A and B are shown apart, each in its own frame.
Chain A
């Protein structure tokens, strides 16, 4: 049993890192008012570019860096479309996922059979010998440690620095931030690009540390889970940590639930009635739906139970900003939205 739990925790930690990195990046981007549905595509681009770099140069750190850079490059397109061209954030994000998936599948085919020596596991002396948790938490790759370390960093950035304050302000009320001298466009660009870097890192971690190989479409929807995770975490970095482990645990359980005897013994009362229910509830693929259902539940609960001005969702999320006026997001049925004159025309 101890072995089972230790293995489960280990798998949880591995699965959580990807979600944590991508989720933290998405928090930064959304806090600035820009939804990024291109995470999946950025992760794939990060994964492939990191992998290729590592194969060619032999340096997984260099690969990791390139993965981050290309994630940022893709995010730059998103930023340009959503911030400068005021395009619909949803459409742009879906497009980038499509683009990322397409490009990596297209270019990545010849790299499928390559092998690399990726991030090795590093054991923290002494702590690694802790029972149950030791192996899971303290025998991990550098990227696993990095992801955990980034949680307080992002928290500190958002809530304890001037740039963080400005990031939040442009996501809440860009017009007000502008009158206070905050450069709305710059802050939003920065947040989206940094967010893309995190997504690229998540992808590079996937190919360089998690599986140490490249398979087209290897993110397998983790980018979408990261988007859900941000809502689940109500846009708070520290809750991303908790949420990532929770979703990671569900992921880890899926592979192991069959080996668990989660049904009642044949003689137990109500066994014949409850066992099919238990089997269904703990079925791996059914468990895979829980992160999404939990996210919808959290979203619904928050919207129904919270006063609208206290909702955790950044108030200006999905809104493009036109100097001196916030216009609603490009609404394809409605090209006539009011755009106030640029006030500074002189």
Chain B
């Protein structure tokens, strides 16, 4: 391991409309090093790495690899320079074989036409090296033998257990990830970026991945490991760089720092909004959920037996780093995701397995995290979106007919009461034309105005301007005063602490810690969120990651 950095990114600046994603970031990686890149969502990790992989171009700053300045206009440039990336969503075609996925785009001719001659002497050299013959062979033949044996060798070298002739759909997720890594290795990269690679893996698969990565690093490859799990940083990385709000907080050798310090670097302490929280009489349970289990889109268990009780006038804050089962939990208690086990009772009515409509009818309101995808119909008017749930309500006409002037009036009331700006005419302005904050206010207005018994809000303030954030938080508190049971899911720890009556920390689909804001130890909560082992140690969650650490 040389001290001279292999990769240097200097003074990187990248702005998106309204956000500085990377604010003069310096970042360097040594040869043969596994370098952790740590930060919350939106801290700028992905942006920085997309710049390095040629997907974004920086507004300022330079990138040097092995002393040479890089101009990266596309991933192709990055790969040619020796930088590979393994995305969270695999870039593989399930119907093709491992080898076909890897050689796609390379135009490898059949063995008989291989330009280096080699093993096959069936064709005379003069014919084989003829440019026309080469051009034709590259298009109208396909040589998989040489690549297959090379992939096989690479796999053997790093201890990957992958059948090169298998179709990708036949492989499990861990193997697919190894194919992604092989794809980079096959193109002779010197540096691999792994974007939250364990997010899709089981603990055992993660363990295997760590072993492979260690081997790659021993062979001299540099690895950038994006994560927000402290346990993983500790288990696998040599050094770690922490980003927060687009700025670099620092780079430290992993051995020299405790998890608690890392958590603090990552979460930070910021000036809090001061919010008046009136004391509220907490009433009967609104939601009683027992043993909830659910799977994510890939069919992997994302929610592993969660109990959750929410009472009238109570805000239960769910803290955690994204991807630990929050989305599945929110959708489960809003009736949108099928449970594999468990039961949900709302106001004494068993709604386990009921339709989304039953949840709506039983006064469950939901603010989804993906506003545009689930929260609204972007090309319909504000009026349509404001009344998306309440149009069934008797106040808008009997029978099959709808009182459109009534809907309009109702929408206008919501727009006014919740200060949704940019709406001159509720029937003319489309929801998709509103800014993020105003759209969120509209959605919140719709969900709150129907006087729900239970309000589930997932990331209600993400991507929303400061003014709207304050408004939304106050609205949630007002709901609490009205006696609604509120489930608030957020990655913003301050928000959770400010608003909640009770805080639950979710990690890998389970609640690992419960506290109340007044007594909460922020460092402890930060550790629990990231799977770090606190003083008491949280057995269930730490086990897997600790095991992975030992495996080294």
B141 touches A160 (CB 8 A): yes
Would you call B432 an interface residue if the criterion is a C-beta within 8 Å of the partner chain's C-beta atoms?
A: yes
A334: chain B residues at CB < 8 Å are: 379
Would you call B169 an interface residue if the criterion is a C-beta within 8 Å of the partner chain's C-beta atoms?
A: yes
Would you call B124 an interface residue if the criterion is a C-beta within 8 Å of the partner chain's C-beta atoms?
A: no
Would you call B73 an interface residue if the criterion is a C-beta within 8 Å of the partner chain's C-beta atoms?
A: yes
Question: In whole angstroms, how far apart are the Cα atoms of A294 and B94 in the complex?
Answer: 27
Within 8 A of A (CB), among B297-325: none
A315: chain B residues at CB < 8 Å are: 95
Would you call A163 an interface residue if the criterion is a C-beta within 8 Å of the partner chain's C-beta atoms?
A: yes
Interface residue stretch chosen among B103-111, B201-209, B220-228, B279-287: B103-111
Question: In whole angstroms, how far apart are the Cα atoms of A175 and B104 in the complex?
Answer: 13
Asked, given contacts A309-B169, A335-B379, A336-B378, whether A160 binds B142 with beta carbons under 8 Å apart, the answer is yes
Would you call B140 an interface residue if the criterion is a C-beta within 8 Å of the partner chain's C-beta atoms?
A: yes
Question: In whole angstroms, how far apart are the Cα atoms of A311 and B105 in the complex?
Answer: 24
A164: chain B residues at CB < 8 Å are: 142
Chain A count of residues within 8 A CB distance of the other chain:
31
B379 touches A343 (CB 8 A): no
B93 touches A176 (CB 8 A): yes
A177: chain B residues at CB < 8 Å are: 104-105
Q: Which residue from chain A places its CB closest to the CB of B103 in the assembled complex?
A: A165
B73 touches A346 (CB 8 A): yes
Would you call A289 an interface residue if the criterion is a C-beta within 8 Å of the partner chain's C-beta atoms?
A: no
Q: Which residue from chain B places its CB closest to the CB of A176 in the assembled complex?
A: B91
Distance in Å: Cβ of B409 to nearest Cβ of chain A: 26
A182: chain B residues at CB < 8 Å are: 104-105
B105 touches A181 (CB 8 A): yes
B contact face: mostly helix, strand, loop, or mixed = loop
Q: Which residue from chain A places its CB closest to the CB of B94 in the assembled complex?
A: A309
Question: In whole angstroms, how far apart are the Cα atoms of A168 and B97 in the complex?
Answer: 12
B140 touches A180 (CB 8 A): no
Count chain A CB atoms within 10 A of each CB in B142, B372, B378 and give the residue with the most: B142
A338: chain B residues at CB < 8 Å are: 372
A176: chain B residues at CB < 8 Å are: 91-93
Question: In whole angstroms, how far apart are the Cα atoms of A66 and B246 in the complex?
Answer: 62
Asked, given contacts A168-B95, A310-B169, whether A180 binds B105 with beta carbons under 8 Å apart, the answer is yes
A308-346 Cβ-contact flags toward B at 8 Å (1 or 0): 011000010000000000000000011110100001101
B73: chain A residues at CB < 8 Å are: 344, 346
Would you call A166 an interface residue if the criterion is a C-beta within 8 Å of the partner chain's C-beta atoms?
A: yes
Instruction: Among B76, B95, B107, B378, point to the contact of A162 (Cβ < 8 A).
Output: B107
A169 touches B96 (CB 8 A): yes
Distance in Å: Cβ of B326 to nearest Cβ of chain A: 23
Asked, given contacts A162-B141, A169-B104, whether A179 binds B96 with beta carbons under 8 Å apart, the answer is no
B212: chain A residues at CB < 8 Å are: none
Q: Which residue from chain A places its CB closest to the CB of B379 in the assembled complex?
A: A336
Q: Which residue from chain A places its CB closest to the CB of B100 in the assembled complex?
A: A165
Distance in Å: Cβ of B299 to nearest Cβ of chain A: 10
Asked, given contacts A182-B105, A310-B169, whether A161 binds B95 with beta carbons under 8 Å apart, the answer is no
Would you call B74 an interface residue if the criterion is a C-beta within 8 Å of the partner chain's C-beta atoms?
A: yes
A344: chain B residues at CB < 8 Å are: 57, 73-74
B95: chain A residues at CB < 8 Å are: 168, 172, 310, 315
A165 touches B142 (CB 8 A): yes
Q: Which residue from chain A places its CB closest to the CB of B108 in the assembled complex?
A: A162
Within 8 A of A (CB), among B30-80: 55-57, 73-76
Would you call B392 an interface residue if the criterion is a C-beta within 8 Å of the partner chain's C-beta atoms?
A: no
Q: Which residue from chain B places its CB closest to the CB of A177 in the assembled complex?
A: B104
Within 8 A of B (CB), among A143-187: 157, 160-166, 168-169, 172-173, 175-177, 179-182
Q: Which residue from chain A places its CB closest to the CB of B141 in the assembled complex?
A: A161
Distance in Å: Cβ of A180 to nearest Cβ of chain B: 4
Distance in Å: Cβ of A33 to nearest Cβ of chain B: 12
Instruction: Among A160, A165, A346, point to the contact of B96 (Cβ < 8 A).
Output: A165
Question: In whole angstroms, how far apart are the Cα atoms of A177 and B75 in the complex?
Answer: 12
Would you call B277 an interface residue if the criterion is a C-beta within 8 Å of the partner chain's C-beta atoms?
A: no
Question: In whole angstroms, how far apart are the Cα atoms of A279 and B138 in the complex?
Answer: 56
Would you call B430 an interface residue if the criterion is a C-beta within 8 Å of the partner chain's C-beta atoms?
A: yes
B138 touches A168 (CB 8 A): no
Within 8 A of B (CB), among A58-93: none
A166 touches B104 (CB 8 A): yes
Instruction: Among A163, A169, A179, A335, point to the contact of B139 (Cβ < 8 A).
Output: A163
List the 7 shortest-distance A-B pairs measured between CB atoms, nearest first: A180-B105, A181-B105, A336-B379, A176-B91, A172-B93, A162-B107, A309-B94
A-B contacts, 30 listed (Cβ < 8 Å):
A157-B140, A161-B139, A161-B140, A161-B142, A162-B106, A162-B108, A162-B109, A163-B139, A163-B140, A169-B96, A172-B93, A172-B94, A172-B96, A173-B91, A176-B91, A176-B93, A177-B104, A179-B76, A180-B91, A180-B104, A182-B104, A307-B169, A310-B95, A315-B95, A333-B379, A336-B379, A336-B430, A343-B55, A344-B57, A344-B73
